[in-house]
A and B are shown apart, each in its own frame.
Chain A
């Protein structure tokens, strides 16, 4: 069966895998976010240890025109450190929750990275020249005895080995009482939002000591709390519009022109619950774990525990498309509650032209849904399929009855191997899929 992904003849091939081969995963190495930059040339990952690793795509070589460039490590830095909140006696985890790239304006690259409480703006710049020929210093930095200086010269820049430096340019702290789950850069490239469980703040990239609260759903009496904010994103084109999703399965679209505090939504997207599917866990599985606008800005996609839904911004009453990611888990919700898997927060992403969407599942499976061709495919990220350019074989989960050859039964799925984070190159058919501690890069087969 041909793979979905931009046409029904797309086949996905293994390209690279990053990270340790070891089965014994160090907690700090667990990947917690993956993001391509706007050109797709850079791929950033964040991990539980607070580190950011950026990969850069090599330019296509003339020797091998059939292959796209590989991604190699470009820069690694420690973005966040563990901190301690003395007032609450709580440790603040250094885990990177989200990374968002800023559109490139000059030679340097900028990204925002956030942990539970603090957002940082990082500048990543290249240095490939250095000044040589100082009058008062030797080349190694030692000062010369002024008496030995007999002539004067002008220092010149000479080439040096490329050095990539990451430096924190801004630190946006102390604005969130609850845990930050999202950041989103506005299309105006000047502001961005950060969202925690109950509040959304608007920042200016240049100003760190102040932010504006634009959404506050904290009830006067916390005992009346019924829902929390789970994700938020700015519209890709309209700088006044953003959406936020809730644990109740609703999405609210807000217009910042309407008022300073956007507690009143402009639109609310909600699908009535199917009464046949009611269970103890209905509320948990309807909680939205991710929301993403399409590149066009016409649609948005939401991910809840079992499905992916595509919404037309012009229709609030129900999604225009619904894709079941792993419906066979619906009868296993109790076990998934006991082993905590039901709380897993899966992300989702669009391909560059909004024709295909992708999301992760268990057993290192990930799913792609082709909206146009109405096809879906399940693929696996594993070391067994990691021969260079080997084509990924579609996988199938057997949901009952006789298990066919090559199918895997639901009970054999490994729920410790989960793919929560995936990213799609903005312009090309290259995808980055994060397993627990490895990053897989796949691309479509070029003929």
Chain B
């Protein structure tokens, strides 16, 4: 079983690779000659491995610390709506080497969601769901470039209530582009 230290390292490494991969995917959309299928496929494979390792190492460190079972997504340390409670739970634990990232993360999904809810009151739309990038456009994980993704015509940002937003945050990263990149062709 991995020690908490190496689990954290692996976790950070996986997260970093995810961040790099996502920015490469974004960058490749503006490449001359269009999206390269081979490259996008390889990027998505790396992201999938990184995501799986991120989750498994998150569970490892969660399991050892005896905290509440971690939600499926990488940014939250607890699944309760009381996000700040989750943060304060994480901090005192001695095994967590870097409490700052853990503290910051749970907050960031909040802000876009809240502003989303405020912004999109006018754009509340019926159940019609765009196949592409559902949920992804509504949440910007902290390690992404700050610019928000441009919507395709016909897509809408979903006005999501807080609770489901967090779930969607996790879902977004989990499903992020992996299945959606390829059908973009």
Contacts and interface: CB of A to CB of B under 8 A. Distances in A.
Contact of B34 (A90, A287, A337): A90
Contact of B32 (A93, A337, A338): A93
A88 B34 CA distance: 9
B20 A337 contact: yes
Contact of A90 (B33, B50, B180): B33
Given A284-B45, A284-B46, A337-B20, A230 B33 contact: no
Contacts of B42: 247, 283-284, 287, 343
* Residue among A221, A223, A225, A227 with most chain B CB within 10 A: A225
Contact of B38 (A85, A92, A197, A340): A197
A86 interface: no
B149 interface: no
A223 B48 CA distance: 13
Contacts of A88: 34
Nearest to B33: A93
Interface in A171-201: 178-179, 181, 197-198
B85 interface: no
Given A225-B41, A280-B49, A179 B33 contact: yes
Interface residues of A toward B: which range? Answer: 20 to 34
A343 B41 contact: no
B172 to A, nearest CB: 16
Interface in B1-27: 13-14, 17, 20, 24
Contacts of B84: none
Given A223-B183, A225-B182, A91 B32 contact: yes
B148 interface: no
A227 B42 CA distance: 9
A341 B183 CA distance: 26
A247 B36 CA distance: 13
Contacts of A225: 37, 41, 182
Nearest to B44: A225
B46 A222 contact: no
Rank and list the top 6 A-B pairs by shortest CB-CB distance, nearest first: A90-B34, A93-B33, A197-B37, A222-B183, A223-B179, A283-B45
Interface of B: 13-14, 17, 20, 24, 32-34, 36-39, 41-42, 45-46, 49-50, 53, 179-180, 182-183, 185
7 contacts: A92-B33, A179-B33, A197-B38, A221-B183, A280-B53, A287-B42, A337-B20
Interface of A: 85, 88, 90-93, 95, 116, 178-179, 181, 197-198, 221-223, 225-228, 230, 247, 280-281, 283-284, 287, 334, 337-338, 340, 343
